Amino acid sequence: MRQAELPRTTFYRYFPDLESILLHGVAEIAGELDEASTLWYAAVGDPAAALEPAATGLVEVYQRHGRLLLAFSDAAALAPEVDQAWHAAIEGFVEQTTARIRHLQRSGDTEVPHAREIARALVWMTERYLHETYGRGSGTPTSTAVETIVTIWRRTLFDGATR
């Protein structure tokens, strides 16, 4: 409330409880993550090269909101609506990644099997890695986190995976 510079009564008029605040935050952050992810989902040209700008955007979102994301995680244990909202947001990225991988399979740019499962593993791994890295404040430099994510995605999708 101090940061918002709102009196308590005004604040609670907009957010009647902690769960409402967290659900609003989930929607805000999911929008930022979607904006960053679109750099890969909608990229034309070399799909492997498009991984770096998307990963950079994701890392920057987690750097800005790491503590709030940690609060989501903690609240999810007690607030099923918060857990469901965050899970639904991440599953939306799984669906978009699945579609992108299937497109890459059709175009011959990747030979990975099981597009949905590969997408699910990559997206949830990335979410958990960034959550642990920036939610708990590991101090990992942006460049290291970006390089880590890009290496994993690039090697999984483009380096000799076979059906």
Any idea where the domains of the chain sit in the sequence? 17-158
pLDDT digits (tens, 9 = 90+) for 13-67: 665 666 667 777 777 888 898 899 998 999 888 999 999 999 999 999 999 988 8
pLDDT tens, residue by residue, 111-155: 999 999 999 999 999 999 998 899 887 789 999 999 999 999 999
Residue 70 vs residue 10, higher pLDDT: 70
Instruction: Give how far the C-alpha of residue 75 lies from the chain's centroid of Cα atoms, to the nearest Å.
Output: 18
pTM for the predicted model, two decimal places: 0.82
**What architecture (CATH level 2) is domain 17-158?**
Orthogonal Bundle (1.10)
